[in-house]
Amino acid sequence: MDYSKQLIEKFHNKTARVAVMGMGYVGLPFATVFAEAGFTVTGVDPVKDKMDRVNRGESYIMDVPAEKVAGLVKKGKLKGTTDYSVLANIDAVAICVPTPLRQTGDPDLSFIVSAAEGLAPYVHAGMVVVLESSTYPGTTRELMLPILTEKSHLKVGEELFVAFSPERVDPGRTDWTTKNTPKVIGGMTEKCTEVAAAWYGQALDTVVPVSSTEVAEMAKLLENTFRMINIGFVNELALMCDRLGVDVWEVIDAAATKPFGFMKFQPGPGLGGHCIPIDPLYLSWKLRSLNYTARFIELASEINTSMPRFAVTRVQDALNDHEKALKGSNVLVLGAAYKPDIDDLRESPSIDVIRLLQQKGAKVSYHDPYIPHIKQDSWEISSVTDLMAAVKAADCVVIVTNHKVYDYVTILKEAKLIVDTRNALGKLGFKNPKVVRL
């Protein structure tokens, strides 16, 4: 039996039964795109509430409209379940689970292991499994594959087809989506790549086959490490300009007029999100196990993690210049999400800024239109509701996340003092006695 041919046929006539394991900010968009392409898709997730919401036609992911979920559920093209046994009747599985860091800073692969162990009893000849979670080169081959084959003894590339395809979901972005963003796919064998590419090609606009899972895993880490290192450099530029007494934003804007050979990045109060600060550390961790020190990654990470403290120092110095001590001053933090116009708090530098301000004795409040409450191990805080009252009451307003929804002209008018860590005020903040820029 040529299982690859059988599967490719099922992809072409859309009779292949698809499952998505992990229905979060990657899995739910993936499930809806493949369901819209005509496949019958089953979301498999251990969180019952999420699956119930899918089955009620609701969405819990900003980028996925509820009406899209409802329409697909109504048509019987999408459903959710916490029951892994459904995987026995599935032809194609995408695994879209988190790959965070442990407290120690090491990769936390527990979600991949748990998904693979959940799937293992149900793998069968004529199945393709694609891992989407960002991880270090070698994870698919060294960690996931043995779990899938140790009991099934399925032959990879003949009966079971395994590949890696890095997710490229950018929360909040509307121009590049799951459907139209080119998708890299690397298989354990050539046949695996061919089968996985045939599947994805039925729903995604552009598929980019590569020769192995390691190439696909490494490509993703290059993408995000490139970004992290460049942000780290521009953050160091901010530290240099501070010592030189030069406005880093003016320097960057000037450099950015170069129409070639330059790419603009912006300094900030730190690096947030579930990709950029984390993916590079998966790479450096793997390389350490091979006795290699990824110096650029380690240095950039050190600089990026120092930025919240630098931002707080700017607040302290700004208050000092107005004959006020940070201790006892009212400081309003504007923006908590890790980047503008989204509701995601993961690894957000705002959390560090708030904590450091509290540690220095400031009376800290925050506002974020997308994040009503922040709960940490040892503290929690709710967003102020009356923004302008809070701006007026603050001894210093620190802009940490430059949401578009803010009326910066009015904030500038009403505030006594602003530390703008994002150049949110633009020209309004340039050489303005009331404004300190990062």
**Which chain residues interact with ligand SAJ by CB under 6 A?**
167-171, 223-224, 227, 231, 265-266, 268, 271-273, 275-276, 338-339
Nearer to ligand SAJ, 183 or 286 (CB): 183
User: Least separation, in Å, of the C-beta of 235 and ligand SAJ?
Assistant: 7
Catalytic annotation present for 275: yes
Within a 10 A sphere around the Cβ of 437, how many other Cβ atoms? 25
User: Least separation, in Å, of the C-beta of 270 and ligand SAJ?
Assistant: 7
Distances from the Cα of 272 to the Cα of 62, 198, 268, 379, angstroms: 18, 35, 10, 19
Within a 10 A sphere around the Cβ of 430, how many other Cβ atoms? 15
Nearer to ligand SAJ, 149 or 306 (CB): 306
| CA proximity to 284, closest of 142, 144, 141, 136 | 136
User: Least separation, in Å, of the C-beta of 171 and ligand SAJ?
Assistant: 6
Please tell me the distance from the alpha carbon of residue 275 to that of residue 241, in angstroms, as a whole number.
28
User: Least separation, in Å, of the C-beta of 85 and ligand SAJ?
Assistant: 31
User: Least separation, in Å, of the C-beta of 20 and ligand SAJ?
Assistant: 17
Phi-psi region of 164 (alpha: psi -120 to 50; beta: other; left: phi over 0): beta
Q: Identify the sign of the CA torsion 184, 188, 189, 194.
A: negative
CB 209 within 8 A of CB 165: no
Distances from the Cα of 304 to the Cα of 39, 128, 214, 340, angstroms: 43, 39, 27, 18
Nearer to ligand SAJ, 223 or 343 (CB): 223
Nearer to ligand SAJ, 111 or 338 (CB): 338
The size of the chain, in residues, is 438
| CA proximity to 93, closest of 134, 124, 47, 49 | 124
In degrees, rounded to 5, the angle at the alpha carbon of residue 230 between the alpha carbons of residues 225 and 231 is 100
User: Least separation, in Å, of the C-beta of 231 and ligand SAJ?
Assistant: 4
Nearer to ligand SAJ, 53 or 403 (CB): 403
Residue partners of 190: CB distance under 8 A and separation at least 6: 157, 211
> Angle at which helices 27-36 and 66-74 pack, to 10 degrees?
50
DSSP SS3 for 393: helix
Nearer to ligand SAJ, 81 or 401 (CB): 401
Kindly name the residue from 96, 192, 275, 396 that is annotated as catalytic.
Answer: 275
Catalytic residue positions, numbered: 275
